[in-house]
Chains A and B, each alone.
Chain A
């Protein structure tokens, strides 16, 4: 994800897999760097790029949640399939989950 447009593309991609269910996604992407010193020298110096995508599929007050850090079509479709399966085994919420 580079900008809001790629975020929208991601939403549309997910929508195409989820089809008839309501859903909620939370996507975040970040870069971090950290340098550690011990006895006044650098002993660890690290950098990371990562993203996190949480998809909640809502099926008649049952929720299936899956998390992933890749947004290629294969990973998304496989995980959404799993989220839909999860909605079939989780208990009904005792409140209406309204989006």
Chain B
């Protein structure tokens, strides 16, 4: 396949400013269980080639599943035609930040290839876990696993030739307690499908679903009879899973440089982190340091190279509270006179690369969790996302959590349901006065980050450990 792609590239080279071709082949296995019964088992394969051309200073992109010679020639010609047509309505010539030529291979290190594990073993684990959760008022339980193996070849007129094989594994369980005119959900290890990583089946085994299923069901039952969270202004601790969502929405999206430049304004939105704020804006308290790090072992946003052939890297976005960086494509980085930091990725062969989060990580602090909670006289511990709402500039937000615990005189107390908290992004992060240590730090995989038209769902991650915020506005959803 690489030889075919290189032949196309040779044909394109004299006609274009730049071109890259991506062959992507994905195997996917998805398993779902409900109430102790297998409800769905699907396998799929998908492959194709995406051809991106920069000609006459404008982009063209065409993609096809058909890999025969004639079809690929037609797709290549289409990409070129689109670029030339786009050039008729360009604002200025697209220029790319320099990138070195890379000839390399990257393979996700896995201990247990998930596709070599007997499907019956995976099904049995999910069926048993969902059966355990059917206790008392838990009338519905569900669980799912997804496994991906993606093989990519990237070639470009810069001379890069990169092959990557990325493995991804993930899943989780959830219990729904129903009664008292209400229903309450508890998820494990995280909400909205669980936790994901670029790892093998060992990641699923480490979740210890069977060992946690009973506790999850018990918490769902407790939530059903729990009081609603109190309203007011109070100190809070956000657990790692909820904090992943907090980082995603209030830092990950606003540092996407294409949003800042207005390219996503019609759909995904813009950003309050405008260019004038770079190196000139206090995003949070000095405790807050956030990085984009595509090199973290096992992170769902970990890879060898992005879909523009830029190596995975670590970039500071917020350093000790100061806003210092964006995540960028080569095109957008050029506008700032910078090099791309390798954050341009496409969902598949049939989508053009966009600026996407990698692993956007809040670096750990040095506090023990009991110290973090111990310094709160009265407050709430909130975790596991239930709902999110944030404006298109990513500044005003309200997030809901599955569960909240009272904090009284430094100790965790009773459970509350339907808890929400609100904030204004920089004010909220400025109220952060304590971050727990690396011992509690975990990289949470988020497999459902949507952006772009045509829509693209990207797999990203967020490293977090529980964090304390002073005087947050809390309440209960109706």
Interface residues of A (CB under 8 A from B): 32, 34-51, 64-70, 75, 78-79, 82-83, 85-86, 89-91
Contacts and interface: CB of A to CB of B under 8 A. Distances in A.
14 contacts: A35-B86, A38-B266, A42-B90, A45-B59, A45-B61, A45-B83, A47-B63, A49-B63, A50-B48, A66-B42, A66-B43, A68-B45, A69-B65, A79-B45
Nearest to A44: B352
Contacts of B58: 42, 45
Contacts of A68: 44-46
Nearest to B60: A45
Contact of A50 (B61, B64, B86): B64
Nearest to B51: A47
Nearest to B127: A91
Contacts of A78: 45
Contacts of A69: 45-48, 65
Interface residues of B, number: 44
A42 B119 contact: no
A67 B42 contact: yes
B44 A67 contact: yes
B38 A91 contact: yes
A50 B41 contact: no
Contact of A47 (B37, B41, B61, B262): B61
B86 A48 contact: no
B112 interface: no
B337 interface: no
Given A41-B90, A68-B44, A91-B37, A46 B266 contact: no
A59 B60 CA distance: 46
A44 B261 CA distance: 14
A30 to B, nearest CB: 10
B9 to A, nearest CB: 19
By DSSP majority rule, is chain A's interface helix, strand, loop, or mixed? Answer: strand
A47 B44 contact: no
A39 B91 contact: yes
A89 B62 contact: no
B263 interface: yes
A64 B45 CA distance: 15
B265 interface: yes
A46 B62 contact: yes
Given A69-B46, A79-B43, A47 B453 contact: no
B420 interface: no
B454 A32 contact: yes
Contacts of A66: 42-45
Contacts of A46: 61-63, 82, 351-352, 454
B46 A34 contact: no
A41 B85 CA distance: 12
A41 B91 contact: yes
A27 B178 CA distance: 40
Given A45-B60, A67-B44, A69-B65, A89 B123 contact: yes
A50 B46 CA distance: 10
A49 to B, nearest CB: 4
B66 interface: yes
Residue from A43, A51, A82 with most neighbouring chain B CB atoms (10 Å): A43
A38 B354 CA distance: 14
B1 interface: no
A45 B85 CA distance: 9
B250 interface: no
B45 A48 contact: no
B75 interface: yes
Nearest to A34: B454
B89 interface: yes
Contacts of A39: 91, 262
B70 interface: no
B42 A47 contact: no
A90 B38 contact: yes
A38 B263 contact: yes
Nearest to A87: B41
Interface string B57-84: 0111111111100010001001100110
B192 to A, nearest CB: 23
A70 B45 contact: yes
A21 to B, nearest CB: 17
A77 to B, nearest CB: 12
B141 interface: no
Contacts of B60: 45
Nearest to A41: B91
B350 interface: yes
B302 to A, nearest CB: 26
